[in-house]
Amino acid sequence: MTYYKFQDSEKRVRIGKIICLARTYTEHAREMNVHVTEDPLLFLKPTSSIIFDHGTIIIPKQSQCLHHEVELGVILGKKAKSIPEENAMHSVLGYLVALDITARDIQAVAKKNGWPWAIAKGFDTFAPISDAVMKEKVPDPLNLDLMLRINGVVKQRANTNQMIYSIERIVSFISEIMTLEPGDLILTGTPEGVGEIKEGDVLEAQLDRLCSLTVDVKHE
């Protein structure tokens, strides 16, 4: 079992299912040449893809092109089934910064053929996460600077206020489909600036002044 690491807390919360959103920032949808949708688009990542701060992203032999996607992660603290938007924040426990690592070459083939993204998104080490912060420390999760540097150079920089959907809407929408359970993690999608990562790169992700994540990259 894998547990979150909370800042300033011994809290033990097991990491549950990982629900990811796609196309939640207009500029990222534009760079990918896709349209945003009225309802959020969802896919899942396995818990086995989690790594922590100072971990290593492994480039699998099946892919020649991994991309970084820096994202705000929302941790669930309470069970939520068909929860209305006005109550959705009661289910949120905290936040973290995450990378939704994507085998872009495998995903491109999947998109072209109408196949699912489980392979492109699901390899081991494809979900690096930072230590978590409790929601009480985050008065407004939709006004946070989100940044990713590679080898010291800024590659992605945005504010969560550019996200198309509110946290309330995301939690409520997902809870109408699958029961959200304590420890589940929602990756809320990436802003523009995604690009390739290579062996030897050092990635630093940052969520405002709240939390950060440093990982490197190696071949299998």
> Which residues would be at the binding site for Mg ion (CB under 5 A)?
69, 100, 190
Q: Quick one: 23 or 83, whose CB is closer to Mg ion?
A: 23
CB 128 within 8 A of CB 99: yes
> Based on CB atoms, which residue is closest to Mg ion, 15 or 127?
127
Radius of gyration of the chain (CA): 16
Nearer to Mg ion, 83 or 188 (CB): 188
Judged by CB, which is closer to Mg ion: 69, or 208?
69
Burial of 133 (0-12, 13-18, 19+ CB in 10 A): buried
Cβ neighbours, 10 Å, residue 26:
15
CB contact at 8 A, 91 and 78:
yes
**100 or 131: whose CB is closer to Mg ion?**
100
Whichever of 22 and 217 has its CB closer to Mg ion, that residue is 22
| CB crowding 35-63: b at 16 or more within 10 Å, else e | ebeeebeebebebebbbebeeebbbbeeb
Identify whether the C-beta of residue 151 lies closer than 8 Å to the C-beta of residue 202.
yes
Helix/strand/coil for 176? coil
- What does the DSSP assignment read for 45-108? E-GGGEE-TT-EEEE-TT-S-EEE-EEEEEEE-S-BSS--GGGGGGGEEEEEEEE--EEHHHHH
Q: How far is CA 186 from the centre of its chain?
A: 7
